[in-house]
Structure 1
Amino acid sequence: MRLAHRPLGLTLIATLFLAAGAATGQEASIAAPAAMVLENVPPVRAGLAAQVAKYNEFKPTSYAAWHPTRLEMIVARRHDNTPQLFRVARPGAPLELMTDYAEPVRSAQYEPRHGKYYVFGRDSGGNEVFRAYRRDAGTRAGNADAIPITPDNRRVQDTAWAKASGKLLYVTVPVGRQGSNDSVTSTVSLADPLQPEQVRILAELPGGGWNSFVFSHDDKQLVYSETVSANESYLWLMDVASGKSRRLTDKTGGDKVAYSGAVFARDGRGLYATSDRGSEFRRLVHIDLASGMETVLTPGIEWDIDDISLSKDGKLLAFVANEDGTSVLRMMRTSDRKLVAQPKLPVGVIGRIEWHDNSRNLALSLASARSPSEVYSVDAKTGAVTRWTTHEKMEVDMNRFVEPSLVRWKSFDGRMISGFAYRAPGARFPGKRPVMINIHGGPEGQSTPGFLGRSNYYTDEMGITVIYPNVRGSAGYGKSFLKLDNGMLREDSVRDIGALLDWIATQPDMDATRVAVVGGSYGGYMTLAVSTMYPERIAAAIDIVGISNIATFLERTESYRRDLRRVEYGDERDPEMRKWMDATAPASNAAKIRKPLFVVQGKNDPRVPWQEADQMVATVKKNGTPVWYMTANDEGHGFAKKLNADYLFYAGIDFFNTYLLK
């Protein structure tokens, strides 16, 4: 039935429950989603849900794929409870629903020659066991189910089109191996999506770090990446006919080098990629395939190049520089390697970029503090910027949302750390305001000045100043900075938050006695670590799918990602490292936590399994410290379904009203 995933409007729900509650003299509450399990989490008041509902209706839109022959595209946007795919026939055209599933669908690729069908990926319940499916382009959502084209119970890690033949390469790894041995093999397969049973195995590669496969223009070669860590990766070349490969970039044994984004030049004799060889930052480079010589094309840009795209005719390279968290799009002629006029885009954070096959129109997604992600295109011939999607009219005025400011503070060792502060509006909320420190995941993530979405409620309605720090170990500030939290240096990043607490105490508009710390994934680990290292300096904490003991996390996380994480965190099989991990684990130091804690977990999380949350909650409860626990049985590494995310947000507001704003 449609009602299963088309819920009544929250304002109407609140009205119904309020009417029911009037008979008892108590304000009614809204029911938690069916898959949610709550422990010590108070019921959400219907009045609060009604008040907050208008902040829950944002629908960021991201670019997914160009049609190969027509100037139209696929985008991803929330439909009812989950993100789904939509066709956009022209700029500003109504969005036409293409998929309608209970699980999120965020990416798609058209068949590259005629666009008669498209391929997309989907998992189940947040388990990240992605499987690829084929669907005819003209099929309406809900009319016919998609056809699976990759094996069941194997995770699709990567896909790539052989554009001349129309065949699809996909890379899969085994799943369901938590706690097993570390022997993982990545299988590289090539198939016609119209005849998926006829598969050719190109290679069996050791480990789970193989990704970024790209065909040459004649389909005869493949370039792909072997990722060892955030600081170390290598490029490989494969002859498609024979399946034989060779490593293109050397293992030097000295300074580690990271490569990404490799694509073949049109003449097939070289590659364009990003590389941090001889630099703190990832620069745009050209690599000659015969000699291996690497030529830097952007020597004057001292920031990471985050994304590149080469036009089909090979004449223009588009690339995005990450300049202190803000995205800057540039274009370069490959003939003379000169920059062309820079497109005039709104200031913000750019998502994926991709050229249309006409080599003239470049698609991108862009978000800012006052706009959810929207899809644009740039005309390389005229420089014109065209907006393809526009957000629906909202009850809230997004033009009044708080703009972030870049802030810096000195840490314990004299190093400068930065972040973005969204200050509560002083005219409405005078005096010292409570502060929320929201720490990104990764650890190699980066907080950027993008759109806060529902979190604008904290600043606009609750008067909370929100700070997004980029502690040591964050991306975007050079490879040396990226390595400063590895292994037994882990607690230095927590000390960066201690220094931030010092800085907050010096700010005339911030209340150092009312500070909450929040984070998801690795940010959840940081939240728990801050709660144990600085228990008297915070008022409350919310940990979302966070690590409570790095050693037990490494033992339980899926095997295909375990070795990659060991480079970052250390190897739990080493006795000395294990001893250090156990001694410093938040779960081992939970007795120090004195302030209320809210723990949130998806039961199907393959990255940070639910046991990490369970062991933390069990220990904190023994101390008599207030602890709220929320688990969703249909979610994984974070809440992807709107009903679950909404309920979590309401509960989080209650938590802050109870323990931060009192």
Structure 2
Amino acid sequence: MLNPLDPSKSRKVASLPGTGWFDFAFSFDDKRLALVEAKSINETYVWVMDLASGKRRRVLPAEGETPAQPIASFHLNFSRDGKGLFLATDRDGEFMKLAYLDLGTGKLQYFGEGGEWDIEGVSLSPNGRTLAVIANEGGIGSLRLYDAATRRALARPALPVGTVAGAVWHHNSRDLAVSVASAQSPSDVYTIDVARNGVERWTETKIPGLDASTFKSAEPITWKSFDGRSISGFITRPPARFTGKRPVIVSIHGGPEAQARPGFLARWNYFVNELGIAVIEPNVRGSTGRGKTFVALDNGMKREDSVKDIGALFDWIRAQPDLDADRIVAFGGSYGGYMVLGVATNYPDRIAGAIDVVGIANFVTFLENTETYRRDLRRVEYGDERDPAMREFLTRISPVNNAQKIKAPLLVVAGLNDPRVRYTEAEQIVAAARKNNVPVWYLLADNEGHGFARKPNADFLFYAVIAFVEERLLK
């Protein structure tokens, strides 16, 4: 524990096993610490530690309690009197619900508006009197305020249309800062005076000569997959001046425990507004935001079911009168890069090109080489490569071992210093595809890691993607 005003007096409080500890919250008297131990996105444990002794007690699920299925809980906040925790948990249902955990009795008391959505942020004011809560409603972040003592909802502030994120309290406990993003604006900062429910905009992002008000908003879409399950996503269609059936970029998010959400498309607006390409962002099984059953539907040996969701999306695209199913490029980064390669090997005749950015090509070598701090967490998701049956399965489905099926040209991108997905994953798929005479553009940055962070590199990658997409979709 470190006092930033007097670093010399830092002291070791306790040693914690494993690496998945986070979401630390101090009690108001600074004598206790609440913390989360994460085994996976679906399995966490809430502990309370005495800071004088370092001893900790498990409070959710309680010590000795073995739940019928894993529980996930996040966003811990001690109540003002120290008798309980405000948090979000899925203990009694599919979604993360707002709750108060009584530390004396162990009882959970749910409050707030219900709905089929996850609570993704809980922040208690410094004086312990007001809760700022962000809910993920169909991919859109919405803000609600509650009286912490009565747990009753307060008047909702009149924020502009968009996705709210990052609630941060001022030390005066009256002013709350949030960011709001929409298709027409990146994340700009607003403050809320909770005493009078007033809203004030603090930043306004503008680029000279750019009229962001013309940017198209994403529309929600759904389609049926191979097993009848409904899969959802978002489509951003190009302006009406582009006539005829439009080509499509299917942009698949990473994670896989993540979610495509409507917001500011940034550079992707170029493909929509200037090139007339529709952008579809699917939330295949394994994505968050649809409940804990949905997020686990791709685990282990169900891995390729998520790839089949993209195959069903291709059927949906073909049924649309304004989209050209013969001109599709698949794009994805990290786990999304695996998805792109999985699509290229499972649906080789249905795409015109594939862009794999820092993606997984071989699950076995990925798990063996990813940094140790995250290896066990990834084994929960993908399977344990040390188990012979799982190793055989992961070997069999890995794109590098199915590269002979690839027909569409590839653009493969990697960072030499990537600790998560080693650049050797890219090297493997590039070599295997070229061996089969598949055209491959390969971009390896020797000063990047898991994605391109340096602006010159990011710019170069952007121009490379434009050139690749123009060649594959517009010629």
Q: Please give the alpha-carbon distance, in whole angstroms, between the structure 2 residues aligned to 1:311 and 1:194.
A: 23
What is the aligned counterpart of 1:537 among 347, 350, 374?
A: 350
Partner of 2:214: 400
Q: Please give the alpha-carbon distance, in whole angstroms, between the structure 2 residues aligned to 1:394 and 1:322.
A: 33
Q: Please give the alpha-carbon distance, in whole angstroms, between the structure 2 residues aligned to 1:230 and 1:496.
A: 21
Residues 112 and 152 in structure 2, CA contact (< 8 A), matched pair in contact too:
no
Partner of 2:465: 652
Q: Please give the alpha-carbon distance, in whole angstroms, between the structure 2 residues aligned to 1:340 and 1:560.
A: 41
Task: State the one-letter code of the partner of 2:38.
Answer: T
Q: How many Å apart are 1:234 and its aligned residue?
A: 0.8
Partner of 2:130: 316
- The reply on whether 1:340 has 2:151 as its aligned counterpart is no
Sequence identity of aligned pairs in percent?
Answer: 55
Q: How many Å apart are 1:522 and its aligned residue?
A: 0.6
Partner of 2:249: 436
Partner of 1:469: 282
Task: State the one-letter code of the partner of 1:297.
Answer: F
Q: Please give the alpha-carbon distance, in whole angstroms, between the structure 2 residues aligned to 1:298 and 1:585.
A: 44
Partner of 1:242: 53
Q: Please give the alpha-carbon distance, in whole angstroms, between the structure 1 residues aligned to 2:225 and 2:116.
A: 23
Q: Please give the alpha-carbon distance, in whole angstroms, between the structure 2 residues aligned to 1:458 and 1:552.
A: 34
- The reply on whether 1:287 has 2:98 as its aligned counterpart is no
Q: Please give the alpha-carbon distance, in whole angstroms, between the structure 1 residues aligned to 2:109 and 2:66.
A: 18
Q: Please give the alpha-carbon distance, in whole angstroms, between the structure 2 residues aligned to 1:207 and 1:393.
A: 46
* RMSD of aligned Cα (Å): 1.1
Q: Please give the alpha-carbon distance, in whole angstroms, between the structure 2 residues aligned to 1:415 and 1:221.
A: 45
Q: How many Å apart are 1:253 and its aligned residue?
A: 4.3
Q: Please give the alpha-carbon distance, in whole angstroms, between the structure 2 residues aligned to 1:575 and 1:246.
A: 37
Residues 95 and 291 in structure 2, CA contact (< 8 A), matched pair in contact too:
yes
Residues 112 and 151 in structure 2, CA contact (< 8 A), matched pair in contact too:
no
Q: Please give the alpha-carbon distance, in whole angstroms, between the structure 2 residues aligned to 1:269 and 1:461.
A: 57
Q: Please give the alpha-carbon distance, in whole angstroms, between the structure 2 residues aligned to 1:195 and 1:620.
A: 57
Q: Secondary structure at the match of 1:660?
A: helix
Q: How many Å apart are 1:194 and its aligned residue?
A: 4.7
What's the CA shift string for 1:213-244, capped at 9, x where partnerless?
A: 11111110000000011101010011001111
Q: How many Å apart are 1:653 and its aligned residue?
A: 0.5
Q: How many Å apart are 1:195 and its aligned residue?
A: 4.7
Residues 112 and 153 in structure 2, CA contact (< 8 A), matched pair in contact too:
no
* Structure 2: runs of 5 or more not aligned: none
What is the aligned counterpart of 2:205 among 383, 391, 395?
A: 391
Q: Please give the alpha-carbon distance, in whole angstroms, between the structure 1 residues aligned to 2:14 and 2:359.
A: 35
- The reply on whether 1:450 has 2:450 as its aligned counterpart is no
Q: Please give the alpha-carbon distance, in whole angstroms, between the structure 2 residues aligned to 1:494 and 1:349.
A: 28
Q: Please give the alpha-carbon distance, in whole angstroms, between the structure 2 residues aligned to 1:572 and 1:298.
A: 42
Partner of 2:43: 232
What is the aligned counterpart of 2:366 among 553, 569, 576?
A: 553
What is the aligned counterpart of 1:508 among 321, 332, 339?
A: 321
Alignment of 1:154-233 (within 5 A): 190-233=1-44
Task: State the one-letter code of the partner of 2:106.
Answer: G
Q: How many Å apart are 1:393 and its aligned residue?
A: 3.4
Task: State the one-letter code of the partner of 2:344.
Answer: S
Q: Please give the alpha-carbon distance, in whole angstroms, between the structure 2 residues aligned to 1:446 and 1:346.
A: 22
Q: Secondary structure at the match of 2:329?
A: strand
What is the aligned counterpart of 1:358 among 172, 177, 184?
A: 172
Q: Please give the alpha-carbon distance, in whole angstroms, between the structure 2 residues aligned to 1:561 and 1:349.
A: 29
Q: Secondary structure at the match of 1:257?
A: coil
Q: How many Å apart are 1:198 and its aligned residue?
A: 4.3
Q: How many Å apart are 1:366 and its aligned residue?
A: 1.4
Q: Secondary structure at the match of 2:317?
A: helix
- The reply on whether 1:525 has 2:338 as its aligned counterpart is yes
What's the CA shift string for 1:232-265, capped at 9, x where partnerless?
A: 1010011001111111112524211100001100
Q: Secondary structure at the match of 2:226?
A: coil
Q: Please give the alpha-carbon distance, in whole angstroms, between the structure 1 residues aligned to 2:414 and 2:355.
A: 11
- The reply on whether 1:278 has 2:92 as its aligned counterpart is yes
Q: Please give the alpha-carbon distance, in whole angstroms, between the structure 2 residues aligned to 1:641 and 1:458.
A: 22
What's the CA shift string for 1:56-81, capped at 9, x where partnerless?
A: xxxxxxxxxxxxxxxxxxxxxxxxxx
* Structure 1: runs of 5 or more not aligned: 1-189
Residues 417 and 446 in structure 2, CA contact (< 8 A), matched pair in contact too:
yes
What's the TM-score once normalised by structure 2's chain length?
A: 0.98
Task: State the one-letter code of the partner of 2:413.
Answer: V
Partner of 1:583: 396
Q: How many Å apart are 1:412 and its aligned residue?
A: 0.5
Partner of 2:112: 298
Q: How many Å apart are 1:193 and its aligned residue?
A: 3.0
- Highest relative contact order (Cα 8 Å, sep 6+), 1 or 2? 1
Q: Please give the alpha-carbon distance, in whole angstroms, between the structure 2 residues aligned to 1:605 and 1:390.
A: 34
Partner of 2:195: 381
Task: State the one-letter code of the partner of 1:222.
Answer: L
Worse-superposed segment, 198-207 or 462-471: 198-207
Q: Please give the alpha-carbon distance, in whole angstroms, between the structure 1 residues aligned to 2:439 and 2:330.
A: 16
Q: Please give the alpha-carbon distance, in whole angstroms, between the structure 2 residues aligned to 1:351 and 1:454.
A: 21
Q: How many Å apart are 1:388 and its aligned residue?
A: 1.0
Partner of 1:415: 229
Task: State the one-letter code of the partner of 2:301.
Answer: M
Worse-superposed segment, 335-344 or 414-423: 335-344
What is the aligned counterpart of 2:144 among 330, 336, 351?
A: 330
Q: Please give the alpha-carbon distance, in whole angstroms, between the structure 2 residues aligned to 1:631 and 1:198.
A: 45
Alignment of 1:604-643 (within 5 A): 604-643=417-456
Task: State the one-letter code of the partner of 2:54.
Answer: G
Q: Please give the alpha-carbon distance, in whole angstroms, between the structure 1 residues aligned to 2:218 and 2:418.
A: 32
Q: Please give the alpha-carbon distance, in whole angstroms, between the structure 1 residues aligned to 2:76 and 2:352.
A: 47
Q: Please give the alpha-carbon distance, in whole angstroms, between the structure 1 residues aligned to 2:66 and 2:154.
A: 35
Residues 545 and 600 in structure 1, CA contact (< 8 A), matched pair in contact too:
yes
Residues 283 and 301 in structure 1, CA contact (< 8 A), matched pair in contact too:
no
Q: Please give the alpha-carbon distance, in whole angstroms, between the structure 2 residues aligned to 1:208 and 1:452.
A: 34
Q: How many Å apart are 1:488 and its aligned residue?
A: 0.5
Q: How many Å apart are 1:192 and its aligned residue?
A: 2.8
Partner of 1:483: 296
- Greater helix fraction, Structure 1 or Structure 2: 2
What's the CA shift string for 1:136-190, capped at 9, x where partnerless?
A: xxxxxxxxxxxxxxxxxxxxxxxxxxxxxxxxxxxxxxxxxxxxxxxxxxxxxx1
Residues 327 and 347 in structure 1, CA contact (< 8 A), matched pair in contact too:
no
Q: Please give the alpha-carbon distance, in whole angstroms, between the structure 1 residues aligned to 2:156 and 2:10.
A: 44
| Aligned residue pairs, count | 472
Partner of 1:67: none
Q: Secondary structure at the match of 2:244?
A: coil
